[in-house]
């Protein structure tokens, strides 16, 4: 039996590899597993926050941010039963693991935006987001969200202080705080302390917070500041953000008035303006009363008090009073004067005794010191109290519970109005119609005279007469010297004869007899005639034209 066409039998051996067809699902499973592991390792804690506000948060879209960096997303949003709170579940990234402790804070940004912050402007398009401030420690199940951002930001080096004010006057969250025109902080929050006062939290950055002392004074600084200077009124623009959000400024006095370093949340009064802050009374001020009877005057609290152009205090209180007996209104003001702003001479200093200040005021009032309501800058500025010396005036400081300083009336505005009224009254009293009619008549007469054909003829006649006068004067000047020489010669001869006669009379005793009594009188008349001729000769020698023009106008 031949074996050439015989083929060996195939032996089936099973393989452990399932085949290439299974590579795709195996790879898919591996990718899904890797993504799951990556998602599990990159996912941070899940937390629930109860916010005391309602906001448009979108699950899966609204982000959780830490200083503008996304660290998670909102997973779900639900409204609480009271319709005032919102329950928000957050899925945080693993990067914040270990930094979501019990003191971690959450709030919603973008609901109340400020035009001066670019990050707030972007929320107009992107919508609000959940902001986070981390704190070390393990994550908690529930957190109570904040209604607004915390005062002190994460890692910020600054000190908060409390400003108390009767009104906000444009102050809001984010209002900048200036120190000598440099931004050193901002307003972080404000709330009503009671029915009449607001508490404003001002955050001052380091190292400027070291400038805040117990004697520091804050004021509401408007974006446009008008002040008076030696060269006149001065207009100053602080910054563009201040136009939108307002501004606050502060200044710390030098010396003992600065006080000690202020602790966090130390309470300061927020004044309405720089003048009110600088002139506010302190513990060393002395109070006086002044009653102003000017019907056009007005005065407000904290208005400056000036003496010879220097601020020495402020108005502590003003009241409008009516006198039934006089039937008049007046303004009763209490002014506080700081004696430390007045330098004593001869090396002396204030002792803190009120009697020392009263003695000074008594002496000044005796020399005419008076209080007056004026304005600074003049006319357009606010009303202030000015103490000045009225010449040729005496008086005395009125004693009482609060000594009273005499006052005078006559504010700048009143003087201007009075002068204007006087001018208008005098102008109305003028007979303007009669004056206009007489001017019109005079103008017509002058016009008729100028246009008259006789005018050229009259002018020529006047010119001819003047020429004749000049000719006569010239001829008189030529003939006068010989005549004057002859007259002087005659006068000299007469004086010689007179002298001879006087000598003859003196030598002849018979001159004293009664029958010869007329001779001295005759000699006296001759002497007067000779003297008159000499004076005439001298005058004609100096003014020969007097022969034509006369002598009357030359005396």
CB neighbourhood size of 410 (10 A): 14
The pLDDT score that the predictor gives to residue 405 is 94
CA distances from 375 to 221, 424, 493 (A): 20, 25, 87
What is the domain range of residue 217? 158-278
Q: How far apart are CA 89 and CA 48, in angstroms?
A: 4
Q: Which sign does the torsion angle of CA 72, 76, 79, 80 carry? A: negative
Q: Is 520 left (phi over 0), alpha (psi -120 to 50) or beta?
A: alpha
For residue 420, pLDDT beyond 80 = no
Helix (H, G, I), strand (E, B) or coil at 511: helix
Show which of 96, 119, 144 is a domain's final residue.
144
Percent of the chain whose pLDDT exceeds 70: 68
Q: How far apart are CA 193 and CA 177, in angstroms?
A: 21
Q: Are residues 50 and 140 in the same domain?
A: yes
pLDDT tens-digit series, residues 513-551: 444 445 556 656 666 666 666 676 667 666 666 655 555
Tokens describing residue 248: 């606050």
Q: Are residues 131 and 166 in the same domain?
A: no
Least confident of 397-406, 469-478, 506-515: 506-515
At 476, the pLDDT band (50, 70, 90 cuts) reads low
The pLDDT score that the predictor gives to residue 511 is 47
Q: How far apart are CA 26 and CA 20, in angstroms?
A: 10
pLDDT tens-digit series, residues 101-113: 999 999 998 876 5
pLDDT tens-digit series, residues 178-224: 998 889 999 998 998 888 899 999 999 999 999 999 989 999 887 56
More confident residue, 47 or 301: 47
Tokens describing residue 43: 């996912």
The pLDDT score that the predictor gives to residue 371 is 93
The pLDDT score that the predictor gives to residue 275 is 76
Q: How many domains does the chain have?
A: 4
Percent of the chain whose pLDDT exceeds 90: 30
Q: Are residues 193 and 237 in the same domain?
A: yes
CB burial readout 276-312, b (16+ within 10 A) else e: bbbbbbeebbbbbbbbbebeebebeebbbbbbeeebb
Q: How far apart are CA 36 and CA 31, in angstroms?
A: 8
pLDDT tens-digit series, residues 332-347: 999 999 888 888 888 8
More confident residue, 381 or 383: 383
Show which of 345, 375, 409 is a domain's final residue.
409
Q: Which DSSP state fits 100?
A: B
Show which of 278, 307, 341 is a domain's final residue.
278
Helix (H, G, I), strand (E, B) or coil at 417: helix
Q: Are residues 140 and 103 in the same domain?
A: yes
- Listed residue (296, 282, 295) closest to 350, CA to CA: 282
Mean per-residue pLDDT, 453-469: 72
Q: Are residues 387 and 491 in the same domain?
A: no
DSSP string, 423-463: HHHHHHHS-HHHHHHHHHHHHHHHHHHHH-THHHHHHHHHH
């Amino acid at each position: 039996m031949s074996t050439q066409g015989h083929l060996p039998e195939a032996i089936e051996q099973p393989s452990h590899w399932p085949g290439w067809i299974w590579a795709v699902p195996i790879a898919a499973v591996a990718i899904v597993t890797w993504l799951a592991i990556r998602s599990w390792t990159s996912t941070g804690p899940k937390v629930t926050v109860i916010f005391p506000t309602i906001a448009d948060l979108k699950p899966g879209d609204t982000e959780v941010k830490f200083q503008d960096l996304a660290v998670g997303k909102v997973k779900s949003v639900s409204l609480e039963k009271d319709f005032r709170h919102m329950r928000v579940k957050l899925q945080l990234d693993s990067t914040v693991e270990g930094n979501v402790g019990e003191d971690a804070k959450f709030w919603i940004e973008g609901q109340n935006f400020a035009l001066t912050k670019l990050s707030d402007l972007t929320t107009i398009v992107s919508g609000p987001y959940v902001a986070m401030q981390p704190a070390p420690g393990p994550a908690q199940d529930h957190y109570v969200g904040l209604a607004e951002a915390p005062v002190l930001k994460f890692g910020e080096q600054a000190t908060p202080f409390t400003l108390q004010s009767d009104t906000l006057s444009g102050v809001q969250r984010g209002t900048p705080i200036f120190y000598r025109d440099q931004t050193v902080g901002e307003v972080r929050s404000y709330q009503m302390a009671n029915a009449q006062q607001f508490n404003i939290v001002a955050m001052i950055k380091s190292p400027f917070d070291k400038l805040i002392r117990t004697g520091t004074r804050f004021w509401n600084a408007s974006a446009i500041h008008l002040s008076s200077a030696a060269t006149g009124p001065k207009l100053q623009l602080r910054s563009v953000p201040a136009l939108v959000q307002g501004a606050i400024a502060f200044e710390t006095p030098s010396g003992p008035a600065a006080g000690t370093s202020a602790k966090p949340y130390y309470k300061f009064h927020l004044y309405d303006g720089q003048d009110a802050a600088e002139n506010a009374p302190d513990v060393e001020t002395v109070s006086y009363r002044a009653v102003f009877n000017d019907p056009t005057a007005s005065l407000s609290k904290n208005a400056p008090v000036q003496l010879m152009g220097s601020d020495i205090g402020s108005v502590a209180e003003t009241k409008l009073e009516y006198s039934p007996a006089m039937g008049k209104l007046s303004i009763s003001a209490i002014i506080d004067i700081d004696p430390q702003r007045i330098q004593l001479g001869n090396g002396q200093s204030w002792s803190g005794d009120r009697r020392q200040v009263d003695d000074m005021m008594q002496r000044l009032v005796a020399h005419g010191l008076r209080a007056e309501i004026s304005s600074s800058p003049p006319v357009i500025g606010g009303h202030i109290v000015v103490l000045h010396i009225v010449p040729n005036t005496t008086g005395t400081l009125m004693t009482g519970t609060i000594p009273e300083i005499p006052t005078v009336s006559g504010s700048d505005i009143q003087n201007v109005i009075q002068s204007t009224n006087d001018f208008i009254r005098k102008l109305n009293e003028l007979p303007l119609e009669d004056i206009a009619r007489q001017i019109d008549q005079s103008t017509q007469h002058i016009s008729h005279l100028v246009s008259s054909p006789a005018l050229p003829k009259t002018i020529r006649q006047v010119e001819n007469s003047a020429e004749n006068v000049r000719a006569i004067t010239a001829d008189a000047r030529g003939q006068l010297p010989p005549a004057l020489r002859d007259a002087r010669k005659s006068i000299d001869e007469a004086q010689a004869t007179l002298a001879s006669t006087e000598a003859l009379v003196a030598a002849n005793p018979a001159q004293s007899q009664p029958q010869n009594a007329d001779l001295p009188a005759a000699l006296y008349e001759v002497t007067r005639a000779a003297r008159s001729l000499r004076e005439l000769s001298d005058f004609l020698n100096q003014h020969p034209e007097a022969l034509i023009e006369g002598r009357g106008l030359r005396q």
